[in-house]
Amino acid sequence: MAWMQLTRKMKLPEAKSYVAAKLKIDVNQLADEEIMRGIREDLGIGMITSVAGSPKGIRAKIKIAELLEIPINSVTLFKSQLGDSLK
């Protein structure tokens, strides 16, 4: 929700609704650790505790940026540097 508050200037209730809609869950489920762990694992958006083979770091951030349709500076920078190295 913090990303939505920062990038889209949303208030917390609006940010929760937006994220819940993108995740296709109820707003109340955002606080449920069991549900969110499953969702994070299914979508590959990273988890609080690392699991072998699951997305971590920049890979998880890229998936979050795509899912929420927001720019994340480190993702933009990474993609621009990756593009330059392929030339």
Region 39-55: mean pLDDT is 78
Whole-number Å distance between alpha carbons of 31 and 27: 8
pLDDT in tens, 60-79: 899 999 999 999 999 999 99
Residue 14: its pLDDT value, please? 96
Whole-number Å distance between alpha carbons of 76 and 49: 25
Element (H, E) at 59: helix 57-68
Total domain count, the chain = 1
Residue 45: its pLDDT value, please? 85
Residue 5: its pLDDT value, please? 92
Local structure of 1: helix, strand or coil? coil
Q: Which domain holds residue 62?
A: 2-85
pTM for the model stands at 0.67
Region 43-72: mean pLDDT is 83
Region 50-57: mean pLDDT is 73
Angle at 61 between CA 73 and CA 68, to 5 degrees: 85
